[in-house]
Amino acid sequence: MNDWKPTEAYRKIAEANRAYYSQTAGLYDATETCVQDEEVQGQLESDLDRVLAAVNKPVREVSALDACGGSGNISMKLLRRGAKVVLADISPQLLELFQKKAAAAGYQSEIVCSEVASFLGDGGRAFDLIVFSSALHHIENIDGVLGLAYQRLAPGGLLFTVFDPTAQSQRRLATRTLLKLDYYWFKLVCQSSDVLPAAGRRFRRLMSGSTPDRKDQVALNESTVGMLAEYHVEQGIDDLALVERLKGVGYEVVWHERYAKCRAGWLLPLIEFLGDKTSFKLLLRKPQSV
């Protein structure tokens, strides 16, 4: 059993996410690559087909949890395929965006406004599929949350994670530089309305001494909320070590894929040439007999 309980640090990061998306939900849904990019959406559709094929039951019988599901990027695709979906997210603003999309498409889905560990730890129904899409890097204690998810999976159930960064320490300096350029390009081209506010927030962080490598000592306020919400973005996630720890929880690896990805298509060939893998996705199974 996973007896992990959220710490004060975990709760601070969760609150940072609530506050961050209260400010940026609309901008995120309208501009973020994992939600809006056609090529990325096509790959995600293909991934979900593979995932659902691995569930080994008719799609209309699949009970799925879109954990930290935001504005419904995953949920809408699962609903279109006929799955039964629960979307849980900490942000009422993102949930409202999802409700509008679902209503416009004629879909019915259950939503829960809750911090993910609280929802998973409360027990209740078991799910055939739990998805974390662009979510793990927002969670302070990934192991604790995925341990709780293991308990909520039905025997033979699947955990799918996607759109998370690999560890920065595993990338070349050139790749790290290109990814910074990629971020600045994205802000200028896709989120131009936030360029000056973002610069102001960064300046105030610098003046206050708040740095990404000391987040445990950073107070939550208007200028630090985004840095805290994107908790693992600067350092990334050591997915290789994470998978080994999750095996210890009981998960079986169906597939673990690492690939090069960035927002700007014109930069991607350069990153691919360097050979670094910048993102990862996982499909893990809870054994039938546990």
Task: Assess if residue 223 is contained within a domain.
Answer: no
Query: In 3D, which of 217, 178, 221 has the Cα closest to residue 201?
Result: 221
Residue 89 belongs to domain spanning: 8-169+232-285
User: Does residue 251 belong to any structural domain of this protein?
Assistant: yes
Residue 35's pLDDT band, with cuts at 50, 70 and 90, is very high
What pLDDT score does 4 carry?
87
The mean predicted confidence, pLDDT, of the chain is: 95
pLDDT at 108: 86
Q: What percent of the chain has pLDDT over 70?
A: 99
pLDDT in tens, 155-180: 999 999 999 999 999 999 999 999 99
Give pLDDT tens digits for 197-251.
Answer: 989 998 898 888 888 878 888 899 999 999 999 999 999 999 999 999 999 999 9
d(CA 117, CA 124): 13
pLDDT at position 207, please?
85
CATH number of the domain residue 103 falls in? 3.40.50.150
Q: Is the pLDDT of residue 149 over 60?
A: yes
Tell me what the mean pLDDT of segment 111-123 comes to: 95
Residue 37 binned pLDDT confidence (cut-offs 50, 70, 90): very high
Number of H helices, E strands in the chain: 12, 7
Please state, in angstroms and rounded to a whole number, the distance separating the CA atoms of residues 57 and 82.
12
Sign of CA dihedral 261, 67, 219, 9: negative
Looking at residue 210, its pLDDT comes to 82
Greatest C-alpha distance within the chain: 56
Q: What are phi and psi of 124, to 5 degrees?
A: 105, -155
Query: How far, in Å, CA of 103 to CA of 87, rounded?
Result: 14
Average pLDDT over residues 144-151: 97
In this predicted structure, the answer to whether residue 184 has a pLDDT above a threshold of 80 is yes
For residue 194, being part of any structural domain is answered with: no
- Cα separation, 98 vs 109, whole angstroms: 10
Residue 1: pLDDT band (50, 70, 90) is low
pLDDT tops 60 at residue 50: yes
Residue 212 in any domain: the answer is no
- On whether residue 64 sits in a domain, the answer given is yes
Could you give the number of structural domains in the chain?
A: 1
What is the C-alpha separation between 252 and 260, in angstroms, rounded?
24
Tell me the mean pLDDT in the region 128-145.
97
Give domain status of residue 114, yes or no. yes
What pLDDT was estimated at residue 154? 97
| pLDDT for residue 205 | 87
Q: Give the mean model confidence (pLDDT) for residues 3-11.
A: 92
| Within a domain: 101 | yes
For the chain, where are the alpha helices, taking DSSP H only? 8-31, 33-36, 38-55, 73-81, 92-105, 116-121, 142-152, 173-190, 195-208, 225-229, 239-249, 268-274
Q: Is residue 140 part of a domain?
A: yes
